[in-house]
Amino acid sequence: MSTNTGFHNEVSRRDFLKGCMTATAMMGLPYSMLGKVVAAAEAPNKPSVIWLHFQECTGCTESLLRSSHPTLASVILDTISLDYQETLMAGSGELAERAMHDSIKANKGNYFLVVEGAIPTKDNGIYCKVAGKTAIDSLRSAADGAAAIISIGTCASYGGIQSVAPNPTGAVGVRDIIKNKPIINVPGCPPNPYTFFSTILYYLTFKKLPELDNLGRPMFAYGRKIHEHCERRPHFDAGRFAKAYGDDGHAQGYCLYQLGCKGPVTYANCPVQRFNDVGAWPVSIGHPCIGCTEPDILFKTSIAEKVQIHDPTPFDGYAPIDIGKKGKGPDALTTAIVGLAAGAALGAGAMMAKNLPASVDDKEKQHK
C-alpha cells in the first residue's frame, strides 16, 4: 500500500485492529465502540492530509515513523491519504509543490492540515522559507481550505524551543496566527504517536473535534496529570526521594520530585500510554518529566527546578476518594484498558512499592 508521499507500508489485519483498539481505549471509549472506530478508519474515502514542516527538529515525524513501532506508522498511513509531507515524499521541487496545490484544490474544505514546527513572525517571517514562501504565508494559504488543523508537537502548539526568550525570530504557535479554523493541539516534544492517531480517528468516527482543554489539547490524552498515574507515586506519598542522579534512592526507583520532576503540574498520558511499544517513558528510565506538553515549562524552567504543587491530586491506583473535584480525563477502567492494550507495566509500580523495606530513612514530604 502506498500514499502520495511514496511511503510504502504493509499492515496485517491483526495489527490494524490492535492499533484501532489502543486508540479506542485511549479516547476513553467503551470496547463496544471499536466496530465504529474500525469502520471509520477503513472508510474508502481516506481523508487527505497536508503536513507542513516549519521551525523544529522533525522529531515528531521521526518518532512516528522511525522508532520501534513501524506498525503504528503503517496503520496511520493506511487510514489517511498523506498527500504532502516533506520528510517522506519521494518527489521534490516543483513536482512536490504541485502535488500539494492539487490536493488543496481538489479537497477544499475537507482536508486536515497538520503543522509541525513553530512559525517565525519577526521581520515579515523571513527566518523560515520553503519554496520561496515564508512559513506564515504557507500556513495561511494551506489553512484557508482546511477542515481542521492539528498542531503536532510543542513547537506548532505554542512555539516550543524557538520561542524561548529572547525569541530572536518571533516564533509562535499555529493558534497565534490562524484564528478562524478549528485547531487541535497535540503537544509533546515529541508527542506520543498514539495521541496523534487517536485524534484523527476521533474526528473520523464522530465527525467532530474531541473535547479540548483550555490549551486546545484533547481531554482524553491531556486530561490528567503525569503525577496521577506515575509508578513512582507511592514513593512520593511515602516521602522517598532520589536526591541525586545515581544515588541509592535513584537506583531504587524513588520519586524524582527533588530532581525537578514536573509531573505534578504536567498534563499528559505518558505513564499510561508510554513510548516505543516497550513500556518506557522518561520517568520510568530515571529522568524527571520536563513538562514537554506544557507551554510555560518546557525549556522555560530549568530541569532541576522544583515545581510548587498548588492542586494536589490523588494517585489513580488508590481506592477512589471524594476530593470534591473530579478529573475530566479517562476513568480508571479506561486507563487500565489502555495499559493492557499498550502492554504497559503499571503493576510494576505497585510491585516496586511492595518490595521496599517497611521503614526508610527519608520521610520528607515535599507536598505538605
Whether the CB-CB separation of 335 and 316 falls below 8 Å is answered with yes
Whether the CB-CB separation of 156 and 173 falls below 8 Å is answered with yes
d(C-alpha 281, C-alpha 273), whole Å: 9
Site string for ligand SF4, 7-46 (x = CB under 6 A): ----------------------------------------
Strands 146-152 and 171-172: unpaired
Nearer to ligand F3S, 238 or 303 (CB): 303
DSSP 254-315: -B-GGGT--GGG-B--HHHH-BTTTTB-GGGGT-----TT-TTTTTTS-TTPPPP-SS----
d(C-alpha 87, C-alpha 101), whole Å: 17
Q: Which three cell numbers stand for residue 133?
A: 514562501
3-class secondary-structure state, position 266: coil
Nearer to ligand FSX, 7 or 241 (CB): 7
3-class secondary-structure state, position 225: strand
CB of 283 to ligand SF4, least distance (A): 5
Q: Under the criterion CB under 6 A, does residue 329 sit at the interface with ligand F3S? A: no
3-class secondary-structure state, position 81: strand
Nearer to ligand SF4, 182 or 327 (CB): 327
Q: Considering only 214-222, 276-284, 322-330, 339-347, which stretch makes contact with ligand F3S by CB under 6 A?
A: 276-284
DSSP state of 212: B
- The residue assigned the cell 520528510 is 87
Nearer to ligand F3S, 51 or 222 (CB): 222
d(C-alpha 169, C-alpha 349), whole Å: 43
- Residue numbers at the binding site for ligand FSX (CB under 6 A): 56-60, 116-117, 153-156, 160-161, 189-190
Q: Which three cell numbers stand for residue 59?
A: 522529531
Q: Which of 117, 210, 218, 264 binds ligand SF4 (CB under 6 A)?
A: 264
Site string for ligand SF4, 203-242 (x = CB under 6 A): -----------------------xx--x-xx--x------
Number of residues that bind ligand F3S (CB under 6 A): 13
Check the CA dihedral 87-91-92-97 and report its sign.
Answer: negative
CB of 295 to ligand FSX, least distance (A): 11
Nearer to ligand FSX, 163 or 205 (CB): 163
Interacting partner of 268 out of ligand F3S, ligand FSX, ligand SF4, none (Cβ under 5 to 8 A depending on kind):
ligand F3S
Site string for ligand F3S, 245-274 (x = CB under 6 A): ---------------------x-x-x----
d(C-alpha 337, C-alpha 318), whole Å: 17
Q: Under the criterion CB under 6 A, does residue 283 sit at the interface with ligand SF4? A: yes
Q: Under the criterion CB under 6 A, does residue 63 sit at the interface with ligand F3S? A: no
Q: Under the criterion CB under 6 A, does residue 297 sit at the interface with ligand F3S? A: no
Nearer to ligand F3S, 125 or 218 (CB): 218
Strands 183-186 and 146-152: parallel
- The residue assigned the cell 500514499 is 3
d(C-alpha 23, C-alpha 202), whole Å: 9
d(C-alpha 108, C-alpha 100), whole Å: 12
Q: Which three cell numbers stand for residue 19?
A: 492499533
d(C-alpha 147, C-alpha 143), whole Å: 8
Q: Which of 151, 258, 293, 335 binds ligand F3S (CB under 6 A)?
A: 293
Nearer to ligand FSX, 40 or 178 (CB): 178
CB of 26 to ligand SF4, least distance (A): 19
Residue numbers of the site for ligand F3S (CB under 6 A)? Answer: 188, 226, 266, 268, 270, 281-283, 289-293
Question: What is the binding site for ligand SF4 (CB under 6 A)?
Answer: 226-227, 230, 232-233, 236, 255-257, 261, 263-264, 283, 289
